[in-house]
Amino acid sequence: MLSEKLKYIFDQFQHSAEFSSFKELASGHINDTYLIKTTKKPFFVLQRINHGVFKNVPELIENKVAISNHIKQKLQHLSPKKQKRQILTFLNTKSNASYFKGVEDDYWNLMQFIHKSVTFEQVESEDIAYEGGKLLGQFLTLTSDFDASTLSEVIPNFHDMSFRYREFEEALSKTSEDKLLKAQTSIQIVQDLKIEMHILQTLKESGEIKLRVTHNDTKISNVLFDKKHKGLCLIDTDTVMPGIVHYDFGDAIRTICNSAAEDEANLALVTFNMSYYKAYKKGFLQEMKQSLTPLELQYLPLGAKTMIFIIGLRFLTDFLNGDIYYKTKYPEHNLDRAKNQFKLLQSFTDQMGVDGFRV
């Protein structure tokens, strides 16, 4: 019985709470996450990390615990009245480990539940975009002095453009004539943008843009807000690893500024919401601008273009490969997703103007 299993696992951690009931939290697509209700607050969040997706779960958990502890230490001098944001708090097991390994070789971690919080699946206003940007800026600023090289790369080559192009070119060489014909326009876009889409990677590899702690999953649903829609906490830190600031800023912009669903096939409905972009950027720079180098600041908008492009490239590659990675609902689902992202990219580029990408 699931309830008994969860109670057993919950009781392997260091707490004095009494298990009362549980509720599955279904917002994530990878891990199994449960709200553990106890006889008195605080409640807890118990999570099973997907070992099939994440190959080294212990290092993943150590990453996010280390970052959480670092932020907590940075903010410990603030009084509760001045400390408006919340911090993810992880509990150790009774054997003082950061995770519990079950009999089925599954890995679990436990954190305190943040009460009186709300999430949004989509941005509904400029104010929400602004608060989301502000919270990401705070996260990156608070971790800017953390040695990112000590973090494990939980998903190797995640935003490596050269790796993604190699995957694309291999798929291109093996796909059918029919797929080549259907994807002709999208393939040409990928080929035309190859040089520009390597700019950020080249700057990172040369050391001109430094490695930082990055979150790598900055969609708005990973931001907790209070009841007044003020940002509380950035959650879901499973993908915390070394990266550059442009990855996090760009991925957030990609996910909040599309006027349509990610797989909307009617491209007339796909436009880039510039007002949300400006609001998010304003909040982000309010917290982050002093921590950015002039070069990082200069290329920040290119981060948005690059992250929109890379997911389009991945959708296209999967279409050419026969849909082996992303779940699809119909034969050309991944191609529609790719076209969607490339239309979003064009809308963004058109609105930014021909004189380049300026903050």
Indicate whether 130 and 79 sit together in one domain: no
> Does residue 344 form part of some domain?
yes
Q: Each residue of 310-349: pLDDT tens digit? A: 999 999 999 999 999 888 999 999 999 999 999 999 999 9
> Does residue 70 form part of some domain?
yes
Indicate whether 73 and 200 sit together in one domain: no
Indicate whether 97 and 138 sit together in one domain: no
Tokens, residue 181: 């014909």
Is the pLDDT score of 356 beyond 70? no
pLDDT averaged over the chain? 92
Is the pLDDT score of 280 beyond 80? yes
Indicate whether 88 and 178 sit together in one domain: no
Tokens, residue 214: 């990055």
Per-residue pLDDT, averaged over 25-45, amounts to: 86
Indicate whether 255 and 152 sit together in one domain: yes
pLDDT class of 359 with cuts at 50, 70, 90: very low
Per-residue confidence (pLDDT) for residue 229, from 0 to 100: 93
Distances (CA, A) of 158 to 154, 164, 334: 9, 9, 19
Tokens, residue 329: 């609902």
What domain count does the chain have?
2
Tokens, residue 342: 């490339």
> Does residue 120 form part of some domain?
no
Q: Each residue of 172-210: pLDDT tens digit? A: 999 999 999 999 999 999 999 999 999 999 999 999 999
> Does residue 121 form part of some domain?
no
> Does residue 68 form part of some domain?
yes
Per-residue confidence (pLDDT) for residue 80, from 0 to 100: 53
Which residues constitute the domain of residue 288?
126-352
Indicate whether 104 and 145 sit together in one domain: no
pTM above 0.85, yes or no: yes
Indicate whether 136 and 231 sit together in one domain: yes
Q: Each residue of 208-265: pLDDT tens digit? A: 999 999 999 999 999 999 999 999 999 999 999 999 999 999 999 999 999 999 999 9
pLDDT class of 355 with cuts at 50, 70, 90: very low
Indicate whether 105 and 139 sit together in one domain: no
> Does residue 241 form part of some domain?
yes
Please tell me the number of Cα atoms within 13 Å of 51 on its side-chain side: 10
Distances (CA, A) of 279 to 11, 218, 234, 291: 44, 16, 18, 19
Least confident of 6-10, 74-78, 88-92, 134-138: 74-78
> Does residue 22 form part of some domain?
yes
Query: Please, what is the angle between helix 184-192 and helix 161-174, to 10°?
Result: 150
Indicate whether 197 and 300 sit together in one domain: yes
Indicate whether 103 and 183 sit together in one domain: no
Least confident of 23-27, 145-149, 182-186, 273-277: 23-27
> Does residue 293 form part of some domain?
yes
Per-residue pLDDT, averaged over 110-123, amounts to: 92
Return the percentage of the chain with pLDDT > 90, whole number. Answer: 84
Distances (CA, A) of 358 to 285, 301, 342, 351, 352: 13, 7, 21, 12, 8
Q: Is-contact 130 284, C-beta < 8 A? A: no
- For residue 242, what are the β-bridge partners? 213
pLDDT class of 29 with cuts at 50, 70, 90: low
Indicate whether 130 and 272 sit together in one domain: yes
Q: Is-contact 341 311, C-beta < 8 A? A: yes
Question: How far apart (Å, rounded) are the C-alpha atoms in residues 343 and 337?
Answer: 10
Indicate whether 221 and 320 sit together in one domain: yes
Query: Please, what is the angle between helix 333-352 and helix 300-320, to 10°?
Result: 160
Q: Token match 């992303």: residue?
A: 326
Per-residue confidence (pLDDT) for residue 102, from 0 to 100: 86
